[in-house]
Amino acid sequence: MSQTFDYENLFDFVLHVFLQMGCSEEHAHLATEVLLSADLRGVDSHGVARLGGYIRLWEAGRINATPTIKIIYETPSTAVVDGDAGLGLVVAPFAMQVAIEKAEKAGTGWVSVKNSNHFGIAGYHAMMALPRQMIGMAMTNASALVAPTFSVERMLGTNPIAVAIPANNEPAFVADFATTTASNGKLEILQRKNQEAPEGWVQDAEGHTTTDANALKSGGAMLPLGGDREHGSHKGYALGSIVDIFSAVLSGASYGPWAPPFPAYVPMPENLPGEGLGHFLGAMRVDAFRPAADFTENMDNWIKRFKAAKPAAGQERVLIPGDPEREMEAIRRKEGIPLFESVVSDLKGVGDKMGVLFRG
Amino acid sequence: MSQTFDYENLFDFVLHVFLQMGCSEEHAHLATEVLLSADLRGVDSHGVARLGGYIRLWEAGRINATPTIKIIYETPSTAVVDGDAGLGLVVAPFAMQVAIEKAEKAGTGWVSVKNSNHFGIAGYHAMMALPRQMIGMAMTNASALVAPTFSVERMLGTNPIAVAIPANNEPAFVADFATTTASNGKLEILQRKNQEAPEGWVQDAEGHTTTDANALKSGGAMLPLGGDREHGSHKGYALGSIVDIFSAVLSGASYGPWAPPFPAYVPMPENLPGEGLGHFLGAMRVDAFRPAADFTENMDNWIKRFKAAKPAAGQERVLIPGDPEREMEAIRRKEGIPLFESVVSDLKGVGDKMGVLFRG
């Protein structure tokens, strides 16, 4: 059961919630735009469904609504940003802007971020590079839910990677994916519907693959992309580790099993090795490699060639990364954003708590 | 059936083969070192087993033994290198050296390469950064063997990614993996032994998963990491695509299905959109982000914590990326390198052709 809401109405509601938290006008607008970009693009797990979670972290004193976000270390092509425990939704765009400015001058810019929080969808930040004719990259570490290959311990988050690459007449290539077999959002949908998970998504407390979508509630763990060793889970484990190290070890954030948990009711791990959550943002000017027109013309050709690849039996077409999300955004801007009843009721609760009317 | 050979003897043989090809002393030494690093590290598919293939490409006029490798475009943190159709085994280290020098000055260095050939194992090039207290990255596109999700057409190579990250007292973190479920080398071993492949490694000409390890000989294709859509093959497809674009579209090499095939008997694709194969090399100075000692101390802690993660039932220990290859190298430097009879016989043939005695 779901109800549909206009983007503008949701925007207005979320904006006022962030303002009531004490965010500045600028931060509240930005945080709202980033959060809702997930709902528009169909990544429902990372949009308004998480607003209540952010509020609870703020109530628990883990999110600072009025952060002083700043560069604390830099070279011509790199920087480390301290997010001052602010919303990742505003810290990450700040850091991406630094990466873009570095890239303007040095060809590329790479920014590692510490002392931040959940930053919404990685794709938003990577896509900031596109209008500047740059390739954008964004990654983040996250609450530990994933067991390394051969292990039963939750050591890594779903640690997503986003890469946005501009084209000319074709829409941009935008990959944005968790380094696990399936995202936590997809698992949550199965839990809500009381359905089983495909094999290879989660394992039980002994490390055996299981179809129990609720396995994490009894000591289980999510699995790295690949699922098991025979199908390359050591590659997903390596990818998740690289994201963790670039985001948190390079910056001085808390890494691996020490990453701050998103649910406010989960106590912070002890003996933290760093500060807050970490992100890694990158920007590469296309014309730092070859004339931008040559590159984007080749990208158009790349995209057209891959779209024209022969479909498998029973398939209509081959997709370019970013196609489904872009098509979803076009639909939802026109027809509205559907929200599950449980999300609507959670948002009403947030509204009551923060003194903002949620209009259905 | 295999025979074991001393590293030094193999080195001497391969060196003289490259010298007979017409390579300079410097290039021959470097190419031999890179090629044999695969045999030492246990990546048998990428070592001397490929020497005959390189020679056949040289005979076919597709490899230039005396290339003038040069930078053709640059900014403070980027460059494009033209490999002049040289051995990737020497072009890639040249480009990595450029990346390292850029990183010395600008914090990071990123080099895209065109007009190159197969570069051996990606890990060798990424690891060049380690003694300089830098993070190294290496990727390459390759002969099209892999079908995108929902397709039956071979559009991408196994497009590997390597990332090497220095630690202090612990050995470095070195990930080096194909962006497919399994590497082509592993598939070739099954073909040689006449064994079936696990599901999720290859598909048949209609796009159905199959256990026929020889499926590529009848119109099948390798599968991106993930195997199928339900298990995240769109993520492996995105990763392989990113490698292809960074390596070949950024540099002006031939991308996607136009990547030059490694077997010399396979005709070159028509209407090539670029020149040769492409690589992408990167170096990031650790102290461009934070004091190197702080970083490497945290990396030691990261590695120790992950090694101490609780093993799954029936498993002895959790591995850090790079552990198996490093342990293999220690054994093979001491005990020698085992080669299959078919490889030995191929090497003898190479020796006869090039006038170099292969000593067993």
Q: Do B312 and A252 touch (CB under 8 A)?
A: no
- What's the rounded mean pLDDT across residues B86-99? 98
Instruction: For residue A64, give the 3-state DSSP assignment.
Output: coil
Q: What's the CA gap between A181 and B194, in Å, rounded?
A: 30
| B301 close to A (CB below 8 A) | yes
The pLDDT value given to residue A332 = 98
The pLDDT value given to residue B188 = 86
Q: What's the CA gap between B217 and B239, in Å, rounded?
A: 25
| A252 contact residues in B (CB cutoff 8 A) | 290, 294, 298
Q: Is B12 within a domain?
A: no
- Say which DSSP state B198 is in: P
Q: Do B106 and A148 touch (CB under 8 A)?
A: no
Contacts of residue B346, defined as CB under 8 A and 6 or more positions apart, other chains included, come to B49, B51, B52
Taking a C-beta distance cutoff of 8 angstroms, is the pair B157, B142 a contact? yes
Which residues on neighbouring strands pair with residue B165, listed in sequence order? B173
Q: For chain A, 360 residues long, give each residue's pLDDT as a single digit of tens.
A: 689 999 999 999 999 999 999 999 999 999 999 999 999 999 998 999 999 999 999 999 999 999 999 999 999 999 999 999 999 999 999 999 999 999 999 999 999 999 999 999 999 999 999 999 999 999 999 999 999 999 999 999 999 999 999 999 999 999 999 999 998 888 988 988 899 999 999 999 999 999 999 999 999 999 999 999 999 999 999 999 999 999 999 999 999 999 999 999 999 999 999 999 999 999 999 999 999 999 999 999 999 999 999 999 999 999 999 999 999 999 999 999 999 999 999 999 999 999 999 986
CATH of the domain at B224: 3.30.1370.60
Phi, psi at A262, each rounded to 5°: -70, -40
- What's the rounded mean pLDDT across residues B24-29? 98
CA-based radius of gyration for chain A: 20
The pLDDT value given to residue B135 = 99
ipTM attached to this prediction: 0.98
- What's the rounded mean pLDDT across residues B298-309? 98
Q: Is the pLDDT confidence value at B1 over 80?
A: no
Q: Do A299 and B151 touch (CB under 8 A)?
A: no
The pLDDT value given to residue B183 = 87
From chain B residues 260-279, the ones with a CB under 8 A of any chain A CB are 273-274
Tell me the DSSP string of B224-243: BTTSSGGGTHHHHHHHHHHH
Taking a C-beta distance cutoff of 8 angstroms, is the pair A149, A237 a contact? yes
Phi, psi at A219, each rounded to 5°: 90, 5
Q: Is the pLDDT confidence value at B55 over 70?
A: yes
For B285, the enclosing helix (H) or strand (E) is strand B277-285
Q: Do A309 and B147 touch (CB under 8 A)?
A: yes
- What's the rounded mean pLDDT across residues B221-242? 97
Q: How far is B335 from chain A (nearest CA, A)?
A: 27
Q: Is B81 within a domain?
A: yes
- What's the rounded mean pLDDT across residues B111-120? 98
Q: Is B281 within a domain?
A: yes
Grade residue B287 by pLDDT with cuts at 50, 70 and 90: very high
Q: Is A358 within a domain?
A: no
Joined tokens for residue A97: 């802007």
The pLDDT value given to residue A189 = 83
Positive or negative, the Cα torsion across A16, A17, A18, A21? positive
Q: Is B29 within a domain?
A: no
Q: Is the pLDDT confidence value at B360 over 80?
A: no
Which of A182, A249, A310 lies at the smallest CB-CB distance from B151? A310
The pLDDT value given to residue B185 = 84
Q: Is A134 within a domain?
A: yes
Tell me the average pLDDT of chain B. Answer: 97
The pLDDT value given to residue A26 = 98
| A317 contact residues in B (CB cutoff 8 A) | 150
| B235 contact residues in A (CB cutoff 8 A) | 175, 177-179, 225
Q: Is B50 within a domain?
A: no
Grade residue B175 by pLDDT with cuts at 50, 70 and 90: very high
pTM above 0.90? yes
pLDDT tens per residue across span B233-242: 999 999 999 9
% chain B with pLDDT above 70: 99
Domain with B132, as residue range(s), is 67-291+323-328
Q: Is the pLDDT confidence value at B230 over 70?
A: yes
The domain tally of chain B equals: 1
Instruction: For residue A277, give the 3-state DSSP assignment.
Output: strand
Which of B236, B249, B305 lies at the smallest CB-CB distance from A298? B249
| A152 close to B (CB below 8 A) | yes
Q: Is A304 within a domain?
A: no
The pLDDT value given to residue B193 = 86
When mean pLDDT is compared across A165-174, A185-194, B175-184, B255-264, the lowest value belongs to A185-194
Q: Is the pLDDT confidence value at B32 over 80?
A: yes
| B203 close to A (CB below 8 A) | yes
Instruction: For residue B279, give the 3-state DSSP assignment.
Output: strand
